[in-house]
Amino acid sequence: MSNTMSRIALARRPQGAPLPEDFKLVTDVRATPQDGEVLIEVTHLSLDPYMRGRMDDVKSYAPSVDLGGTMTGQGVGRVLDSKAGGFVPGDIVTGMTGWASHACLPGAEVRKLDPALPPSTALGVLGMPGLTGWVGLHTYGKPKAGETLVVGAATGPVGSMVGQLAKQLGLRTVAIAGGAEKCRLATETFGFDAAIDHRAYDDAASLRAAIAEAAPNGIDIYWENVAGQVLEAVMPLMNVHGRIPVCGMIAWYGGANIADNNQLPGIWRSILVKRLQVSGFIIFDHWDQYPAFLKDVAPKVAAGEIAYLEDVAAGLDTAPEAFIAMLKGGNTGKQIVKL
């Protein structure tokens, strides 16, 4: 058996949107597990928007990736060797493996998966993205039957979870997505009441008119995944005492298309006069809720009551291009790399 492994390293820090040259495929000697560790052969990797922030050398809620370091991320794989109690070779597990073919992790940081469910679900619908939607909607969205919810990036793994949970609670759900096909998926696969293609509108005013038609009673909850023109369009439509869980702002990642100062006073004024609750949150603060999330949502996934989509790239070497495309909205569903 070969004792080598492959990984994707951060070759340079991006200036704006990431480029292929910002990544490098590296071959290393595979680590040997020490006491309390397991050696994992990775089969699936998760690609998520938050990883763009980890590429910058700035202070944030989590450490940046070092130059030459392995790109961070969650993976799923098989245990090859174990020196940790409770794990044996062949176990299917998940942990923060990074973009790599193999990883040595402490057993305390690894979780066994339910063999009855596809292992990739631990990276999406039953993983960090699904938990993000579940926690954010209940804790910060505070949904009530009869209200109206608008979701940015609605067909992604977070947005689609939010929309489906809200629909089950009796809310009117409006999806904002990029392209006609994603709008079709929003209504036909994820059950949104209406879907709007933000790419079909040249400015915030025309997009706002379309959203207003789909949300005639105003917006009680806006799930913020994207910022940019969508945020500008939504803000005047928010109802008094509306809630805005701020999960992401993909339109502004890398410093591009940031709202100018002429827009900010209007946004700030809406927050004030409509007494909005705008709540930024990071899911790493809420991992204690993961067991309750799994208890609630896993049976729904198994029963087909929560739908999910996965966009699977093949091979570790495809991870950079798949990541770059995902940041531009090129994925359909949860972006995964299958090794």
Q: Where are the domains of the chain?
A: 4-124+308-338, 128-283
DSSP 120: G
Superfamily of 4-124+308-338 according to CATH: Medium-chain alcohol dehydrogenases, catalytic domain (3.90.180.10)
Helix or strand or coil: residue 328? coil
Alpha-carbon distance values, 233 to 178, 219, 293 (Å): 15, 12, 32
CA 95/CA 75 separation, integer angstroms: 6
Phi, then psi, of 194 in degrees rounded to 5: -150, 155
Cβ(177)–Cβ(200) under 8 Å? Answer: no
Residue 60 confidence (pLDDT): 77
Cβ(270)–Cβ(276) under 8 Å? Answer: yes
Q: Going residue by residue through the chain, which has 339 residues, state the pLDDT in tens, using 9 for 90 and above.
A: 579 999 999 999 999 899 999 999 999 999 999 999 999 999 999 999 889 989 999 887 788 999 999 999 999 999 999 999 999 999 999 999 999 999 999 999 999 998 888 999 999 999 999 999 999 999 999 999 999 999 999 999 999 999 999 999 999 999 999 999 999 999 999 999 999 999 999 999 999 999 999 999 999 999 998 878 899 999 999 999 999 999 877 656 555 554 444 567 778 888 888 999 999 999 989 999 999 999 999 999 999 999 999 999 999 999 999 999 999 888 888 999 999
Structure-token pair, residue 247: 């999960």
Residue 224 is which amino acid?
A: E
Structure-token pair, residue 140: 């910060």
Using the structure block, give the residue that is written with the tokens 């509108």.
Answer: 201
Residue 211 confidence (pLDDT): 98
* 128-283: in CATH 3.40.50.720: yes
Residue 212 confidence (pLDDT): 98
pTM of the model: 0.88
Q: How many CB atoms lie within 10 A of CB 213?
A: 11
Cβ(159)–Cβ(175) under 8 Å? Answer: yes
Structure-token pair, residue 230: 């969508």
- Which residue, 72, 114, 74, is CA-closest to 92? 114
Dihedral Cα 162, 321, 17, 183, nearest 10 deg: -30
Alpha-carbon distance values, 327 to 1, 64, 251, 337 (Å): 37, 18, 9, 15
Residue 250 confidence (pLDDT): 66
- Which residue, 71, 121, 80, is CA-closest to 98? 71
Alpha-carbon distance values, 139 to 20, 55, 274, 286, 316 (Å): 38, 29, 20, 10, 36
Structure-token pair, residue 215: 């949300």
CA 15/CA 1 separation, integer angstroms: 40
CA 71/CA 102 separation, integer angstroms: 13
CA 287/CA 135 separation, integer angstroms: 10
Q: How many CB atoms lie within 10 A of CB 147?
A: 22
Q: How many CB atoms lie within 10 A of CB 99?
A: 29
- Which residue, 222, 217, 160, is CA-closest to 192? 160
CA 191/CA 78 separation, integer angstroms: 35
Residue 261 confidence (pLDDT): 45
CA 17/CA 22 separation, integer angstroms: 10
